[in-house]
Structure 1
Amino acid sequence: METLHQININGYRMFTMKKLIVAGAVFFPLFFSGSAWSSCEENVCQGHAEVITPAIKANAREVMVRVQPEAGANLWCQLYEGEYALLDDKAKQFDLHRSLFITAIASQSDIRVEFDPQSSVCTVSSVELIVP
């Protein structure tokens, strides 16, 4: 006996269109979400800028970028205040790093960020803006 949610075609039970639409609505956003395409491993993060580093912050002492907890969970370094990676203001390319972060966030581009492996606190050593 067939139920309202299944139809029988050539002996195979098939889901109705309603169930396929519901399943698609649930799995499509999960599959194509930014976090699925963004990851951090060891001392490198790569993916959508708005997922990995959605904000840049400056105070009287530091310039830093916020790293999403999900993205930064696998980093070898510790995030400053539990959510920030520092930009080294003494670095030769400090202004360029800061500009690349702002550009990546504003344009919603992909980004690759490397952190100094010698530092226990996550400190940005390299920024690459990946243009489609």
Structure 2
Amino acid sequence: MKYMILMLFLFSSTTWAACSPNQCHGIGKDVLVSVYPSGTGHIYLEAPADKGKLNCQLVEGHYMTLKNTHPVFEAMYSTILTALSTQKKLTVRIVENSEGCEVMYVRMFT
């Protein structure tokens, strides 16, 4: 029984949320704490607690930036909102060493 509880803990959704130098991944709400559409047209994505592992300069120390000039901006924003609302696994990949922690791509897993 003790091992079963340990296995449940290890494979729970919150266990899967994490950041590395080039991405954050996990279940929707655990990967992105908030989504903030700005007046500039960019979308700011608040990274989770271990955001310090990301190799980029977060906006105000908290946000990755999905630029409205990205060629597939609308598709990425839609993917993010879908992953958040359905609690699917999500990866947000950033451009390393970027100012504003620019989002390179997102990927949702069903």
Shorter-chain TM-score: which interval? 0.7 to 0.9
- Distance in 2 between residues matched to 1:33 and 1:80, nearest whole Å: 30
SS, match of residue 73 in structure 1: helix
CA RMSD of aligned residues (A): 2.1
- Distance in 2 between residues matched to 1:121 and 1:28, nearest whole Å: 38
- Show the counterpart of 1:79: 58
**Structure 2 alignment gaps of length 5 or more:** none
- Show the counterpart of 1:101: 80
Q: Quickly say closer, same or farther: Cα 1:78–1:33, change in 2 above 3 A.
A: farther
Report if the CA contact (8 A) 2:55-2:97 is conserved.
no
- Show the counterpart of 2:96: 117
Identity %: 24
- Distance in 2 between residues matched to 1:123 and 1:78, nearest whole Å: 9
Deviations 1:55-110 (A, max 9, x none): 2111211311111122x121111211121111011111000111011000000010
**Structure 1 alignment gaps of length 5 or more:** 1-19
Greater relative CO, 1 or 2 (CA 8 Å, sep 6+): 2
TM-score by length of 2: 0.83
TM-score by length of 1: 0.70
2:16 to 21, 26, 37: 37
Structure showing greater radius of gyration is: 1
- Distance in 2 between residues matched to 1:65 and 1:29, nearest whole Å: 29
SS, match of residue 53 in structure 2: coil
2:28 to 42, 46, 49: 49
Report if the CA contact (8 A) 1:54-1:105 is conserved.
no
